[in-house]
Amino acid sequence: MTFLDFLHLLKEKYANRFIVLMLDNARIHHAKMVRAFLDSEEGITFHFIFLPPYSPQLNPIERLWKWLKDEVIANVLHRDQKDIAQSITRFEQYVLQHPDEVLRRIGCAA
């Protein structure tokens, strides 16, 4: 799914609503096709709030990626691509079964 596909899904689900998205500064978020989509749409308003460049501390998903890297990639020798995929799947299953730890690690737990 592309970012533009995601915007289309939001438009369908939340027609005639004001939608605020907090985004990093990935190039796709500023792409001409995204601007064209936003300019052409009526009845729906998107408002983008962009995080400052080079501010991973403001983006909680970056903490999840770091955790994944530390657990699955760093200092681990994988036999092949299938082995890497299986390690990522195990990590994903762990994350899904431990939401409290996920929230703590991304800084959202009390």
Residue 74 to residues 15, 27, 62, 65, 71, Cα–Cα distance (Å): 44, 27, 16, 12, 7
Do 68 and 93 reside in the same domain of the chain? yes
Q: Is the pLDDT of residue 110 over 60?
A: no
pLDDT digits (tens, 9 = 90+) for 87-107: 999 999 999 999 999 999 888
Do 44 and 66 reside in the same domain of the chain? no
Do 72 and 39 reside in the same domain of the chain? no
Do 63 and 96 reside in the same domain of the chain? yes
Mean pLDDT of the chain: 89
Helices (H), the chain: 3-13, 32-40, 60-68, 81-97, 99-105
Is 12 a member of any domain?
yes
Do 32 and 47 reside in the same domain of the chain? yes
**Does the model's pTM come out above 0.85?**
no
Instruction: Specify the number of domains making up the chain.
Output: 2
| Owning domain of residue 83 | 59-105
pLDDT digits (tens, 9 = 90+) for 54-95: 887 888 888 999 999 999 989 889 999 999 999 999 999 999
pLDDT band with cut points at 50, 70 and 90 for residue 39? confident
- Are 7 and 46 a contacting pair, CB within 8 Å? yes
